[in-house]
Structure 1
Amino acid sequence: MILTVTLNAALDVTYQVPAVDWDGVNRVRTVHRRAGGKGVNVARVLAALGQEVLVTGLAGGPTGEAVAADLRASGLPDALVPVSGDSRTTLVVSEPGRTALFNEPGPTVTPDELANFLKRYGELLRDAGAVVISGSLPQGVPADFYATLAQVAHDRGVPAVVDADGEPLRHAPKGRPAIVKPNAEELARAVPGGTALEGAAELRSQGAEAVVVSMGADGLLAVTPEGAFRAGMPYRVEGNPTGAGDSLVAGLALGLVEGTPWPSRLARAAALGAAAVAAPVAGDFDRDVYADIHPKIVIS
Structure 2
Amino acid sequence: MAARMILTVTPNAALDVTYRVDTLRRGGTHRVGDVHTRAGGKGVNVADVLTQLGEPVQATGLADDVLRTRLPGFVPIAGPSRRTVTVVSDEEATLFNEPGPQISAWEWAALLTEFDLLAARADVVVLCGSLPPGVPVDGYAQLIRRSPAPVILDTDGEPLRQGLAAGPALIKPNLDELTRLLGRKPDLPADCAQLGVPVAATLGAKGACLSTSDGAWLACPPAVTGNATGAGDAFTAALARGLRLGTPWPDLLADAVALSAAAVCAPVAGTFDDPTYRRLAGLITVREA
**TM-score, normalised by the number of residues in structure 2:** 0.94
Contact 1:219 1:270 in 2 (8 A): yes
Tell me the secondary structure at the aligned position of residue 8 of structure 2: strand
Aligned-partner residue type, residue 221 of structure 1: C
Deviation at 1:129, TM superposition (A): 1.0
Higher helix share: 1
Tell me the secondary structure at the aligned position of residue 34 of structure 1: strand
Tell me the secondary structure at the aligned position of residue 73 of structure 2: strand
Match of 2:217 in 1: 229
Match of 1:161 in 2: 152
Contact 1:184 1:196 in 2 (8 A): no
Aligned-partner residue type, residue 38 of structure 1: K
Tell me the secondary structure at the aligned position of residue 212 of structure 1: strand
Deviation at 1:288, TM superposition (A): 1.5
Sequence identity (%): 48
Contact 1:4 1:54 in 2 (8 A): yes
Alignment RMSD, CA only? 1.2
Deviation at 1:70, TM superposition (A): 2.8
Counterpart CA distance in 1 for 2:36 and 2:45 is 14
Return structure 1 stretches of 4+ with deviation > 6 angstroms: none
Partner of residue 103 from structure 1, selected from 89, 97, 103: 97
Partner of residue 10 from structure 2, selected from 6, 19, 23: 6
Consecutive unaligned residues in structure 2, runs of 5 or more: none
Aligned-partner residue type, residue 258 of structure 2: A
Aligned-partner residue type, residue 247 of structure 1: A
Aligned-partner residue type, residue 176 of structure 1: G
Partner of residue 201 from structure 1, selected from 185, 193, 198: 193
Tell me the secondary structure at the aligned position of residue 144 of structure 2: helix
Contact 2:193 2:213 in 1 (8 A): no
Contact 1:188 1:199 in 2 (8 A): no
Partner of residue 204 from structure 2, selected from 183, 205, 216: 216
Consecutive unaligned residues in structure 1, runs of 5 or more: 72-77
Contact 1:187 1:196 in 2 (8 A): no
Deviation at 1:186, TM superposition (A): 0.6
How many pairs align? 282
Counterpart CA distance in 2 for 1:79 and 1:291 is 31
Can you list the C-alpha shifts for 1:91-110, whole angstroms capped at 9, x where unaligned?
00000232110011111011
Match of 2:272 in 1: 285
Match of 2:75 in 1: 81
**TM-score, normalised by the number of residues in structure 1:** 0.91
Task: Give runs of aligned pairs for residues 109-188 of structure 1, distance below 5 A.
Answer: 109-153=103-147, 156=148, 158-188=149-179
